[in-house]
Structure 1
Amino acid sequence: MNIIASDVPSYEGMANMLEGYDCPAILVSVDYQILAINQLYRNEFGDVPLPKKAHCYEVSHGYTVPCDEAGEDCPLSAVIHSGHKERVLHIHQTPRGKEHVDVEMLPIHDGQGELLFFVELLRRVSVASAENMSNKLVGASKRFNQMLEKVTRVSRSEASVLLLGESGSGKELVATAVHQGSHRANNSLVTLECAGLTDSLFESELFGHVKGSFTGANNNRTGLVELANGGTLFLDEIGDVPLSMQVKLLRLIETGSFRPVGSSTIKHSNFRLICATHKSLAQMVRAGAFRQDLYYRINVFPIYVPSLRERQDDLPLLINTLLKRISERKEYHLTDSALQILKRYDFPGNIRELSNLLNRAIILTDTNLIERSTIQECLDIDNELSQQGDTPLTLPLSSKKSHGFEEEWVDLKTAEKHYLSDLMAFHNNDKEKVAQVAGISLRSLYRKL
């Protein structure tokens, strides 16, 4: 909604009006000069030397020209062209360093419709970082900022979110950012990895079960839906939900009601839904592998999470951030030649693969400087493994009476299957115990089962 200056007849009144906003605000002239700031701006970003009539692009970015002349979107220019308020996501220079800021620009006209001033509202985006200084979403490229702008917009609503993107691109971190930016942030974010779950296991994990409802149900179990009450439910790899269970999931989303396995009691849960998948759900709908009504229920606000190939400008920042996360005690750096190798690599596994490569490089290097040869060696390891991928790996299994194994040669995948099946039987389907004995996470066990 545009502001008419006749409601606030004087410049002093316009400046005082800024104190009425609940966020940092500045008054800007049509030629980009900052005319006034409110106290919240001073608290958040510091003071501005107003007698010098500083330009907004100088203060926020350190530019000598407006943002649109420096290769960025300019909200002021956008307002002039559109005639109404505009909103963009920028990276600003702040006392804390570079930060993502959600900028909303409001035009102020006089009674005859002539454009007089702009009110610029600035809200810091705390769920992401433009520098390698946190464990949040990290990035500064155009594709990353486009995604983050959508995250910022949808976080404050209750709309269901569908995250689309390749495996390893960071969809779970984006889901966390949506949750943290919402009014549900003080409550739980509950995650269910849907990949590899059978009908019964999916139903039990999601809705819970009562004691004796099936073999191995030795105790009552609270479902993840109930644990997400008041918070956010994140269904990762939603495309892998069994078709037979999709109707129950649809009913849950539509009514917020569910019934634990083996119980006749109807329960209710108030949660915000976020889903993620690397599959094309639209194609699955056409193929009859995914319910169309469920697809439209979860696809209220889709967000595409770009692959690492699409945000190459973020590679140095991501590398520095990951190296700090991997090794807190010792600081590592890549040589320029090592970085150039990674810039030419496609990263089919995205950020997850980059993290693995850097972990491997730290192990292989003898100093805190990771050389080109070390990075090449890390890449060669994966190349050798991929070339051996068509050759079945075999291993001997010694006899174990407690698990009923016999001496035989089997391929690695079958051996793992037998091993986990026997562990599940031996430990009465106690998945947490089996995961502990096998030395893997509970999520990994779900996938393998």
Structure 2
Amino acid sequence: MTDDRFLRGYLDTLPEPHILCDAHYRIVHANPAYHARFGDGRALAGRTCYEVSHRYSAPCEACGESCPLREALARGRPHHVVHLHHGCGGKEYVDIELTPITDAQGRLECFIEKMNPLPAHAHTGAGLVGEAPAFTRMLDRLARVAPSDAAVLLLGESGTGKELTAQAIHAASPRAARPLVTVDCTGLPETLIESELFGHEKGAFTGAASRQVGLAEAADGGTLFLDEIGDLPLPMQAKLLRLIETGTYRRLGSTQWRRTDVRVVSATHRDLAAMVEAGAFRADLYHRLATFPLYLPALRERTGDIPLIARGLLERHAPSMKLDDGALALIAAQPFPGNIRELRNVLVRACLLADGHTLDAATVREALALGLAAAPTPASDARTLEHRLADTAHLGRKAQALALGISERTLYRLLRQGSARVHQDDTAKG
């Protein structure tokens, strides 16, 4: 290999982890940032990149993963790929940018790997968790779109982790230092959604006792996450389209146009394309939102990840509890049509049923059976939920949400809807 002293010195000045490797995958040099993030305390020079990064005994393509070097050589330019790496803090996903360096005859002399750790994708603890191919493909696309300002439409079944994915996109974007603001588009009357999104002036409607700043304004410079966008009423869709296209909006009750700078990430479990065909969703808004569609795989498409996800959920919600092998095997065999949300609920129930700090198969089986027994029939869903809301009203909001098997945000929305119905009834009686 040609003299690389200048190249080594240059890499040492860079804040991101970099390694320089020869044509046989052997590490020639690792900069200080790489040692700090991925070093294992041993010398790196002379060891292969695949052994240090993945603990493999052969190159990536021989172990079932794509090799960024092969892809870069085939394409004749730098190549990005997301891989799971071992580092000082355990395993984590990183976006690898590989640049081949060739001689005058086009023969490979060496290559540089730049590691871009993905902020919200820690493999343990908080963050997105998984190793299945469907999950890795999603993560690779996320890593490509996150640094841009493109609108992202998160698609997939309910409970697949859309809000967590939106947080990951925001955290890996240039807007990460600015707010991530969530707008829940489900079940609220049009006026209330408009007021929540754009704000309102004093006296704009009954009960508007003061001026209110909207979420679009609160998200200025950051990311606006529109959750369950498929539930947005048609009249509001036109106003949202203007916000996305021009960055302008008006507070409810105001004639003054205001401006905000937001990156839009939206999510839905609905088939928006079919809704466009049926006239239930604006085609122009759909195309604005779907600049980069990102599909989140259902749990049944990544069953091998269930033990990892279960452990991660327990680490966050009940760190003193552990799953034994029998419990893990039973959980991994479940279909979980409610996806990660249903898995979380099973684990919460199992923790409440357990005696001690170990969840065994018998406890998990009881938690699964309890969930099936409590599932209401479609005809009684609304009545059952109202009764369950009343039965749990004495609990704190977090405990109430856990008992109902819903998120705190959904709980607050249901309570708001209930208050609105009571107000409407009182008005009608008056």
Q: TM-score range by the shorter chain?
A: 0.7 to 0.9
Once residues 55 and 416 of structure 1 are traced to their aligned partners in structure 2, the CA distance between those partners, rounded to angstroms, is 58
Partner of 1:425: none
Partner of 2:108: 115
Q: 1:145 to 1:415 in 2, by over 3 A?
A: closer
Contact 2:307/2:331 (<8 A) preserved: no
Pick from 377, 380, 393 the counterpart of residue 389 of structure 1: 377
Q: 1:277 to 1:447 in 2, by over 3 A?
A: farther
After superposing the two structures, state which structure 1 stretch, 161-170 or 68-77, moved more: 68-77
Partner of 1:49: 43
Q: 1:413 to 1:219 in 2, by over 3 A?
A: same
Paired amino acid for 1:135: A
Once residues 153 and 194 of structure 2 are traced to their aligned partners in structure 1, the CA distance between those partners, rounded to angstroms, is 21
Counting only pairs closer than 5 Å after superposition, residues 366-377 of structure 1 correspond to structure 2 as: 366-377=355-366
* Structure-1-length-normalised TM-score: 0.83
Deviation sequence 1:83-111 (CA, Å, 0-9, x none): 32211111111121112111111111112
Partner of 1:301: 292
The alignment partner of 1:126 has SS state of: strand
The alignment partner of 1:215 has SS state of: coil
Aligned length: 401
The alignment partner of 1:381 has SS state of: helix
Pick from 403, 410, 413 the counterpart of residue 443 of structure 1: 413
Q: CA RMSD in A?
A: 2.5
Task: Quote the offset at 1:323 in angstroms.
Answer: 1.4
Partner of 2:283: 292
The alignment partner of 2:210 has SS state of: coil
The alignment partner of 2:20 has SS state of: strand
Partner of 1:361: 350
Contact 1:167/1:350 (<8 A) preserved: yes
Contact 1:48/1:54 (<8 A) preserved: no
Partner of 1:269: 260
Partner of 2:334: 345
Task: Quote the offset at 1:172 in angstroms.
Answer: 0.2
After superposing the two structures, state which structure 1 stretch, 269-278 or 84-93, moved more: 84-93
Q: Which runs of 5+ in 2 are unaligned?
A: 391-407, 421-430
Partner of 1:173: 164
Q: 1:44 to 1:340 in 2, by over 3 A?
A: closer
Once residues 416 and 157 of structure 1 are traced to their aligned partners in structure 2, the CA distance between those partners, rounded to angstroms, is 44
Partner of 1:398: none
The alignment partner of 1:98 has SS state of: strand
Paired amino acid for 1:295: Y
Task: Quote the offset at 1:390 in angstroms.
Answer: 5.3
Contact 1:26/1:37 (<8 A) preserved: yes
Once residues 414 and 108 of structure 1 are traced to their aligned partners in structure 2, the CA distance between those partners, rounded to angstroms, is 66
Once residues 249 and 69 of structure 1 are traced to their aligned partners in structure 2, the CA distance between those partners, rounded to angstroms, is 49
Deviation sequence 1:331-350 (CA, Å, 0-9, x none): 22223222222222111111
Contact 2:38/2:53 (<8 A) preserved: no
Once residues 274 and 390 of structure 1 are traced to their aligned partners in structure 2, the CA distance between those partners, rounded to angstroms, is 32
Once residues 217 and 106 of structure 1 are traced to their aligned partners in structure 2, the CA distance between those partners, rounded to angstroms, is 58
Q: 1:322 to 1:50 in 2, by over 3 A?
A: closer
Paired amino acid for 1:445: L
Is residue 283 of structure 1 aligned with residue 282 of structure 2?
no
Pick from 153, 167, 174 the counterpart of residue 144 of structure 2: 153
Paired amino acid for 1:19: D
Contact 1:196/1:446 (<8 A) preserved: no
After superposing the two structures, state which structure 1 stretch, 226-235 or 14-23, moved more: 14-23
Task: Quote the offset at 1:376 in angstroms.
Answer: 1.5
Pick from 23, 28, 35 the counterpart of residue 30 of structure 1: 23
Once residues 187 and 343 of structure 2 are traced to their aligned partners in structure 1, the CA distance between those partners, rounded to angstroms, is 25
Once residues 301 and 346 of structure 1 are traced to their aligned partners in structure 2, the CA distance between those partners, rounded to angstroms, is 29
Counting only pairs closer than 5 Å after superposition, residues 404-419 of structure 1 correspond to structure 2 as: 411-412=383-384
Q: 1:141 to 1:185 in 2, by over 3 A?
A: same
Partner of 1:141: 132
Task: Quote the offset at 1:69 in angstroms.
Answer: 0.9
Contact 1:195/1:446 (<8 A) preserved: no
Partner of 2:178: 187
Deviation sequence 1:359-382 (CA, Å, 0-9, x none): 101111112222222212222122
Q: 1:391 to 1:305 in 2, by over 3 A?
A: closer
Partner of 2:3: 10
Contact 1:129/1:139 (<8 A) preserved: no
The alignment partner of 1:35 has SS state of: strand
Once residues 439 and 157 of structure 1 are traced to their aligned partners in structure 2, the CA distance between those partners, rounded to angstroms, is 28
Deviation sequence 1:140-199 (CA, Å, 0-9, x none): 332222222222222211111111111111100110111111121121111110010221
Partner of 1:94: 87
The alignment partner of 1:125 has SS state of: strand
Task: Quote the offset at 1:113 in angstroms.
Answer: 2.1
Deviation sequence 1:208-253 (CA, Å, 0-9, x none): 1111111121221111111111111110000010011111110111
Pick from 324, 332, 354 the counterpart of residue 335 of structure 1: 324
Once residues 338 and 415 of structure 1 are traced to their aligned partners in structure 2, the CA distance between those partners, rounded to angstroms, is 32
Partner of 1:380: 369
Deviation sequence 1:248-276 (CA, Å, 0-9, x none): 11011111111111111111111111100
Once residues 44 and 275 of structure 1 are traced to their aligned partners in structure 2, the CA distance between those partners, rounded to angstroms, is 33
Once residues 447 and 166 of structure 1 are traced to their aligned partners in structure 2, the CA distance between those partners, rounded to angstroms, is 24
The alignment partner of 2:119 has SS state of: coil
Paired amino acid for 1:380: A
Once residues 440 and 296 of structure 1 are traced to their aligned partners in structure 2, the CA distance between those partners, rounded to angstroms, is 28
Paired amino acid for 1:164: L
Paired amino acid for 2:377: G
Partner of 1:435: none
Deviation sequence 1:283-327 (CA, Å, 0-9, x none): 111111100000011111111111111221221111112112222
The alignment partner of 1:192 has SS state of: strand
Q: 1:336 to 1:191 in 2, by over 3 A?
A: same
